[in-house]
């Protein structure tokens, strides 16, 4: 952990609000990103990220400095998002705030970028088919490079359960991805035939 | 053979998905997130304070009602109507207050006369003991309140 962060955590544990605000400043992006990947829209993500920091603030005295702070924080965030999923049926994804790749006419890798941009949207849509815990495991593993142990600790699962959930999730995502590609190919072919 | 082909197809598809994931940007909140968080924390504190105040008022009200109820039950067999019972309760309640005042007076006079009976070093020890007990009591109460705040 970086030196100033360790200092801020120690101060926050003694009740220094300003020190905790600095932690909010530093960790807002990863927490918000996780919430966005979990919940799928900017408003819910903002709300969940705020709530995560409120919960962390209340529990900061119980934080064990031997653990990585970001892991502890993201665990709070993912558990909150899983709860939100369980409480209400969340709507499907909105792409209003999805980052669009910078594509100009003289960009050499334009095709690849366009495909990548489309694929990003597809991945977000794909995540929606997973149940909240699998989804959280996939996000922590592939967006945040968490180890199996870290995911197991975060989601209160055994190491083998994490592995099997990830294996199942990968298969589900890949089959859905293939189906989506097949659908879009069929659609394009029909369009081309109609034009001819 | 077909199963193996499927496995390989899914594996290569997954690699494509993983590539996309690794290349996607981190999505941050809108500017001013920390300030919004501070405001939200302040709002939650106010709500918590209001809740605790209501709990305090509620406990006092319930205690007063229980005392009045006990007095009422004790007084009811002697009275013939509800209004008479009510007057009786009020009378007993005022008597109780008078007794408490008298008790306070008695304790006050004892405190005034007793110091001469014991050596001053004893009193110092007794007072120090009370101060320590009071400190221990307040810190315990504080811990309980803090734990409740965290668990919510």
Q: How does pLDDT run across A86-108, given as a tens digit for each residue? A: 886 655 444 444 444 443 444 44
Residue that wins the pLDDT comparison between A17 and B71: A17
For residues B110 and B126, membership in a common domain is answered with: no
pLDDT score of B31 more than 90: yes
For residues B47 and B95, membership in a common domain is answered with: yes
Residue that wins the pLDDT comparison between B45 and B144: B45
Average pLDDT estimate for A138-162: 91
- Give the whole-angstrom CA distance, residue B95 versus residue B97: 5
For residues B88 and B131, membership in a common domain is answered with: no
pLDDT attached to residue A92: 44
Average pLDDT estimate for B104-113: 85
In chain B, the largest separation of any two C-alpha atoms, in whole Å, equals 104
pLDDT score of A10 more than 90: yes
Average pLDDT estimate for B3-21: 85
For residues B94 and B125, membership in a common domain is answered with: no
Extents of the domains making up chain A: 3-195
> How many residue contacts between A and B have a Cβ separation below 8 Å?
93
Nearest CA in chain A to B18: A142
Q: What confidence tens digit (pLDDT) does each residue in A54-90 have?
A: 999 999 999 998 888 999 999 999 999 999 988 866 5
pLDDT attached to residue A116: 57
For residues B111 and B47, membership in a common domain is answered with: yes
For residues B113 and B49, membership in a common domain is answered with: yes
For residues B46 and B89, membership in a common domain is answered with: yes
pLDDT attached to residue A70: 92
Average pLDDT estimate for A40-67: 93
Q: Is residue B12 part of a domain?
A: no
For residues B87 and B139, membership in a common domain is answered with: no
Average pLDDT estimate for B122-149: 82
pLDDT category, B64, cuts 50, 70, 90?
A: confident
Average pLDDT estimate for B81-85: 76
Q: Is residue B40 part of a domain?
A: yes
Give the whole-number percent of chain A exceeding pLDDT 70: 80
For residues B65 and B130, membership in a common domain is answered with: no
Q: Is residue B101 part of a domain?
A: yes
- Give the whole-angstrom CA distance, residue A54 versus residue A73: 11
Residue that wins the pLDDT comparison between A44 and B115: A44
Instruction: Answer yes or no: do A61 and B150 touch at CB < 8 A.
Output: yes
pLDDT attached to residue A109: 54
Question: Which DSSP string corresponds to A115-142?
Answer: HHHHHHHHHHHHHTTS-HHHHHHHHHHH
Q: Is residue B133 part of a domain?
A: yes
Residue that wins the pLDDT comparison between A14 and A125: A14
DSSP B28: P
Average pLDDT of every residue of chain B: 83
pLDDT attached to residue B116: 73
Contact A75, A153 (CB under 8 A): yes
pLDDT attached to residue B149: 52
- Give the whole-angstrom CA distance, residue A120 versus residue A114: 10
Q: What confidence tens digit (pLDDT) does each residue in A108-130 have?
A: 455 555 555 666 777 788 888 88
Q: Is residue B2 part of a domain?
A: no
Instruction: Answer yes or no: do B25 and A99 touch at CB < 8 A.
Output: yes
Instruction: Answer yes or no: do B152 and A142 touch at CB < 8 A.
Output: no
- Give the whole-angstrom CA distance, residue A107 versus residue A75: 40
SS3 B79: coil
Q: Is residue B28 part of a domain?
A: no
pLDDT category, B152, cuts 50, 70, 90?
A: very low
- Give the whole-angstrom CA distance, residue A68 versus residue A61: 15
Domain count, chain B: 2
Give the whole-number percent of chain B exceeding pLDDT 70: 89
Torsion of CA A125, A163, A52, B152, to 10 degrees: 130
For residues B100 and B141, membership in a common domain is answered with: no
Does the domain at A3-195 match CATH 1.10.1740.10? Answer given as yes
pLDDT score of B46 more than 70: yes
Cα-based distances in Å from A61 to A58, A107, B74:
8, 51, 50
* Among B10, B21, B26, beta carbon nearest to A174: B10
pLDDT category, B151, cuts 50, 70, 90?
A: very low
Give the whole-number percent of chain B exceeding pLDDT 90: 28
CA distance B128 to chain A (A): 29
Contact A6, A19 (CB under 8 A): no
Instruction: Answer yes or no: do B20 and A25 touch at CB < 8 A.
Output: no
* Among B9, B18, B34, beta carbon nearest to A21: B34
Of A129, A126, A127, the closest CA to residue A177 belongs to: A126
Give the domain range for residue B151: 119-152
For residues B113 and B135, membership in a common domain is answered with: no
* Among B13, B18, B23, beta carbon nearest to A116: B23
Q: Is residue B7 part of a domain?
A: no
Q: Is B140 left (phi over 0), alpha (psi -120 to 50) or beta?
A: alpha
Q: Is residue B9 part of a domain?
A: no
For residues B71 and B143, membership in a common domain is answered with: no
pLDDT attached to residue A82: 92
CA distance B86 to chain A (A): 48
């Amino acid at each position: 952990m970086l030196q100033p962060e360790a200092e801020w955590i120690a101060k926050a544990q003694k009740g220094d609000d300003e020190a905790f605000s600095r932690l909010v400043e530093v960790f807002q992006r990863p927490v918000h990103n996780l919430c966005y990947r979990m919940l799928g829209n900017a408003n819910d993500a903002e709300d969940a990220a705020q709530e995560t920091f409120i919960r962390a603030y209340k529990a900061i005295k119980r934080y064990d400095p031997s653990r990585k702070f970001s892991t502890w924080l993201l665990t709070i965030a993912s558990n909150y998002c899983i709860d939100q999923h369980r409480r209400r049926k969340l709507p499907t994804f909105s792409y209003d705030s999805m980052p669009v790749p910078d594509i100009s006419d003289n960009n050499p890798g334009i095709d690849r970028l366009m495909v990548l941009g489309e694929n990003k949207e597809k991945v977000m849509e794909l995540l929606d088919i997973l149940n909240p815990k699998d989804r959280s495991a996939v996000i922590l593993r592939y967006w945040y490079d968490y180890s199996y142990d870290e995911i197991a600790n975060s989601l209160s699962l055994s190491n083998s359960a994490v592995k099997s959930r990830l294996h199942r999730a990968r298969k589900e995502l890949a089959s859905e991805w293939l189906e989506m590609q097949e659908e879009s190919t069929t659609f394009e072919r029909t369009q081309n035939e109609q034009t001819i | 053979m077909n199963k193996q082909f499927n496995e390989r197809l899914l594996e290569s598809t997954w690699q494509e998905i993983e590539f996309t994931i690794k290349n996607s940007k981190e999505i941050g909140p809108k500017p001013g997130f920390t300030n919004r968080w501070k405001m939200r924390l302040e709002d939650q504190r106010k709500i918590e304070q209001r809740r605790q105040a209501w709990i305090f008022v509620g406990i006092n009200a319930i205690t007063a009602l229980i005392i009045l109820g006990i007095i009422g039950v004790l007084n009811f067999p002697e009275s013939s109507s509800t209004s008479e019972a009510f007057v009786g309760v009020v009378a007993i309640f005022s008597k109780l207050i008078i007794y408490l005042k008298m008790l306070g007076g008695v304790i006050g006079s004892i405190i005034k006369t007793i110091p001469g009976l014991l050596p001053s070093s004893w009193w110092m020890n007794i007072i120090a003991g009370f101060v320590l007990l009071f400190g221990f009591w307040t810190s315990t109460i504080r811990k309980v309140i803090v734990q409740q705040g965290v668990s919510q």
